[in-house]
Amino acid sequence: MVRQARDYAKWYVAQETDHDTVPWYLDTASLKAIRNAVGSCSDDAFEQHFGEYYRQLAGAYNDDITQPHPDPVPAGAAMNEYREHKLDIYLTEDRGEIDVTSGVHVMYYAGVNDERLVRSDDPYPAREPDGRLEHVVIDIDRDQFETFLDYHLRCQIRDSYLARGEEPPEQYRVLGPGTDYMMGRCMTRDCVPEYHNYNATIEGYRAEDTFNAGVFGQLLSLF
């Protein structure tokens, strides 16, 4: 409850003043703008911004797809094989389109509660991204990937509300991995339901996608 109060205060101050107090994972408006921008991408623009990310996620399961990057974690540095791939998204100044995306960052655990990030190329290293995709490798066809990203962003929008202690609007009451920030709270706090779990039973919430291959095997390896 204290965390929710702090997050709500950050969001409230940002709404009522000119102070930028909201990190990307609490910024509902920014996440909605990203979802709209992704949905309006041309095929060429989508490939430019997200093709590398797709190949990194899907290449772990499909021998016909070459993952662009080998595992960057030094041998013996991680406590397990869990890896999460992150992609920073920056919007244009009018927030109507995607300006640029980063390289694929990799998160791993060096120990219990010891999260590390191996950063890739970042076009704006001194700027907070407008959003960030966060997901483990997944078995998915290329023609499903845009739908998958849209669902992942819906889950992130859901999490932006939940982190502040608010119930999201009905269209965002879906189950599945959203932001790491909220998933960590779901997995480590008994009082927070497992919104990240496609198979959870939470009144008013449902899983609408079928893109859960490979997700929970990796999560279970943490325990």
Q: What is the mean pLDDT of residues 1-10?
A: 67
pLDDT at residue 37 greater than cutoff 80: yes
Q: Which two tokens stand for residue 178?
A: 């959203």
Share of the chain above pLDDT 90, in %: 65
Q: What is the pLDDT of residue 83?
A: 93
Report which of residues 12 and 105 the model is more confident about.
105
Q: What is the mean pLDDT of residues 126-133?
A: 95
Mark 144-158 as b/e (b = at least 16 C-beta within 10 Å): bbbebbebbbbbbbb
Residue 221: alpha-carbon gap to chain centroid? 19
Measured CA to CA in angstroms, residue 73 lies from 57, 80, 115, 119, 164 at distances of 16, 11, 12, 11, 33
d(CA 110, CA 54): 25
d(CA 42, CA 60): 26
pLDDT at residue 142 greater than cutoff 70: yes
Report which of residues 98 and 192 the model is more confident about.
98
Q: pLDDT digits over 153-203, tens only?
A: 999 999 999 988 899 999 999 998 999 888 877 666 656 788 888 888 999
Q: Which two tokens stand for residue 57?
A: 């996620």
DSSP annotation of 167 reads P
Q: pLDDT digits over 42-86, tens only?
A: 999 999 999 999 999 999 989 999 999 999 999 999 999 999 999
d(CA 52, CA 74): 22
The three-class DSSP label of residue 109 is: strand
pLDDT at residue 216 greater than cutoff 90: no
pLDDT at residue 221 greater than cutoff 50: no
pTM for this prediction: 0.88
pLDDT band at 1 (very low <50, low <70, confident <90, very high): low
Long-range interactions of 214-223: CB distance < 8 A, separation 24+: 214/60, 214/61, 214/136, 214/137, 214/138, 214/139, 215/136, 215/138, 215/177, 218/81, 218/82, 218/83, 218/136, 218/137, 219/82, 219/136, 219/187, 221/80, 221/81, 221/82, 222/80, 222/82, 222/109
Handedness of CA 184, 85, 159, 5 (dihedral sign): positive
Q: Are strands 131-135 and 114-118 parallel, antiparallel or unpaired?
A: unpaired
